[in-house]
């Protein structure tokens, strides 16, 4: 029986599901965090887009086998029993850094029993909590996890990250300040968001003039009445850099529009046709040191576009 448990499942769920940002818990985020992402699957299942994507998910080859596997090892159905996911990390550009916090209606005893058969399985105490460790069968790297309570599990690829998360949870280490841009309250109707801070100081930014101009960035997806919105907001180091970023965005959008034309008579590349219909809806604006790139589309129109690229059809 496979024993890597939730590692691959969580990555898949982020891509497969949508959410509505409601029960985000900022006090679980450490002060050192440099990026945060959150999806509320419980609320997302009630949105028009979430319902459509779930209908596609159910038809994907191998999904039923995947769901049966999760029921057997964790006692829950990913499609219906996961409440929300939070992802954060303390270092930008480090693939090993980062932690996943999952709230779900899982079977704690079943998870722990399955893990006892995993390669390299061991346990250790961290104050009053038990840390579980095992070897991921694909990456051959250690995975560290802690079942915090009856519906919450923390998991990551670094022991340091997990210990920090547990210390924040137990008020041993400081949580992110309430006025931080990373954890500010999302806009009304937001289903999912992700943000990063101190981007200009990240190691990868040294070779990228665009990233060197950015201080913070935040992406939100929301549903307001019958419309779906996506918004990327970037806080530049100053107003002049924001102006340059806005011009760069306008130029890139113009170039894209010039080279991406919808051709209903040519169904060979449906994604190109979809992008060509979405691109004119993109709006880029600047306000002081901030640049906003947004798009808004009616749910009915979005559903028709999804039809064109639905992999199950």
How many whole angstroms separate alpha carbon 244 and alpha carbon 33? 28
Residue 174 lies in a domain: no
- Report whether pLDDT(313) > 50: yes
How many whole angstroms separate alpha carbon 120 and alpha carbon 142? 8
Q: How confident is the model at residue 13 (pLDDT cuts 50, 70, 90)?
A: very low
If asked whether residues 165 and 219 sit together in one domain, one would say no
* Residues 91-115: tens digit of each pLDDT: 998 777 789 999 988 888 888 888 8
If asked whether residues 21 and 143 sit together in one domain, one would say yes
**How high is the pLDDT of residue 10?**
37
Higher pLDDT, 118 or 205: 118
If asked whether residues 159 and 198 sit together in one domain, one would say no
**Residues 20/166, Cβ–Cβ less than 8 Å:** no
User: What single DSSP character describes residue 177?
Assistant: P
The residue ranges of DSSP E strands in the chain, in sequence order, are 35-39, 82-89, 99-104, 122-126, 129-135, 142-149, 152-156, 190-197, 214-224, 227-236, 283-287, 290-298
- Report whether pLDDT(263) > 80: no
If asked whether residues 26 and 119 sit together in one domain, one would say yes
Token readout for 153 is 């599990």
**End position of a domain, from candidates 169, 194, 220:** 169
How many whole angstroms separate alpha carbon 28 and alpha carbon 152? 12
Contacts with 288 (C-beta within 8 Å, 6 or more apart), sequence order: 239, 242
Based on its alpha-carbon atoms, the radius of gyration of the chain, rounded to whole angstroms, reads 21
Higher pLDDT, 270 or 123: 123
If asked whether residues 33 and 140 sit together in one domain, one would say yes
pTM: 0.82
Q: Tell me, letter by letter, the H, E, C secondary structure of 111-165.
A: HHHHHCCCCCCEEEEECCEEEEEEECCCCCCEEEEEEEECCEEEEECCHHHHHHH
CB atoms within 10 A of CB 41: 28
Token readout for 311 is 């992999």
If asked whether residues 165 and 190 sit together in one domain, one would say no
**How high is the pLDDT of residue 261?**
63
Q: What's the number of domains the chain is made of? A: 2
Mean pLDDT of 231-255: 94
**How high is the pLDDT of residue 264?**
55
If asked whether residues 17 and 149 sit together in one domain, one would say yes
**End position of a domain, from candidates 148, 169, 190:** 169
For the ranges 73-77, 82-86, 251-255, 290-294, the maximum mean pLDDT occurs at 290-294
User: What single DSSP character describes residue 198?
Assistant: -
User: Which among 65, 76, 66, 8 has a CA at the least distance from the CA of 42?
Assistant: 76
Task: Determine the Cα angle at 124 with ends 118 and 125, to 5°.
Answer: 145
Residue 176 lies in a domain: no
β partners of residue 38 = 86, 193
Least confident of 39-43, 176-180, 286-290: 39-43
How many whole angstroms separate alpha carbon 284 and alpha carbon 247? 9
If asked whether residues 26 and 117 sit together in one domain, one would say yes
Residue 175 lies in a domain: no
**End position of a domain, from candidates 169, 198, 223:** 169
If asked whether residues 11 and 155 sit together in one domain, one would say yes
How many whole angstroms separate alpha carbon 212 and alpha carbon 245? 11
- Report whether pLDDT(274) > 80: yes
**How high is the pLDDT of residue 232?**
95
**177: exposed, middle or buried (Cβ count in 10 Å: 0-12, 13-18, 19+):** exposed
Residue 1 lies in a domain: no
**290: exposed, middle or buried (Cβ count in 10 Å: 0-12, 13-18, 19+):** middle
User: Which among 165, 134, 30, 6 has a CA at the least distance from the CA of 78?
Assistant: 6
pLDDT, the chain, mean: 84
Q: Which domain holds residue 144?
A: 6-169
Residue 131 lies in a domain: yes
**How high is the pLDDT of residue 51?**
85
Q: How confident is the model at residue 22 (pLDDT cuts 50, 70, 90)?
A: very low
If asked whether residues 158 and 199 sit together in one domain, one would say no
If asked whether residues 253 and 188 sit together in one domain, one would say yes
If asked whether residues 108 and 227 sit together in one domain, one would say no
- Report whether pLDDT(117) > 50: yes
User: What single DSSP character describes residue 312?
Assistant: T
């Amino acid at each position: 029986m496979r024993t890597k448990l939730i590692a691959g499942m969580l990555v898949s769920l982020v891509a497969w599901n949508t959410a509505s940002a409601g029960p985000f818990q900022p006090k679980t985020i450490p002060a050192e965090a440099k990026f945060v992402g959150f999806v509320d699957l419980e609320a997302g299942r009630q949105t028009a887009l979430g319902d459509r994507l779930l209908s596609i998910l159910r038809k994907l080859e191998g999904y039923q086998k995947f769901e049966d596997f999760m029921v057997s090892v964790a006692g829950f159905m990913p499609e219906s029993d996961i409440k929300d996911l939070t992802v954060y990390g303390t270092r930008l550009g480090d693939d090993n850094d980062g932690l996943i916090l999952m709230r779900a209606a899982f079977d704690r005893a079943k998870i722990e029993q399955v893990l006892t058969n995993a390669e390299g399985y061991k346990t250790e105490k961290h104050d009053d909590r038990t840390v579980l460790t095992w070897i991921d069968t694909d990456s051959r790297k250690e995975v560290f996890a802690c079942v915090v309570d009856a519906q919450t599990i923390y998991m990551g690829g670094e022991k340091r990250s997990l210990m920090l998360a547990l210390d924040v949870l137990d008020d041993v280490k400081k949580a992110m300040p309430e006025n931080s841009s990373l954890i500010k309250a999302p806009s009304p109707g937001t289903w999912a968001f992700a943000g990063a801070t101190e981007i200009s100081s990240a190691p990868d930014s040294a070779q990228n003039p665009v990233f060197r101009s950015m201080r913070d960035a935040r992406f939100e997806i929301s549903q307001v009445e019958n419309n779906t919105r996506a918004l990327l907001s970037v806080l530049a180091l100053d107003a002049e850099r924001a102006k340059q970023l806005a011009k760069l965005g306008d130029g890139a959008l113009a170039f894209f529009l010039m080279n991406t034309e919808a051709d209903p008579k040519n169904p060979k590349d449906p994604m190109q046709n979809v992008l060509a219909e979405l691109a004119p809806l993109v709006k880029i604006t600047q306000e002081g040191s901030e640049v906003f790139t947004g798009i808004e589309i009616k749910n009915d129109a979005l559903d028709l576009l999804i039809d064109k690229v639905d992999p199950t059809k």
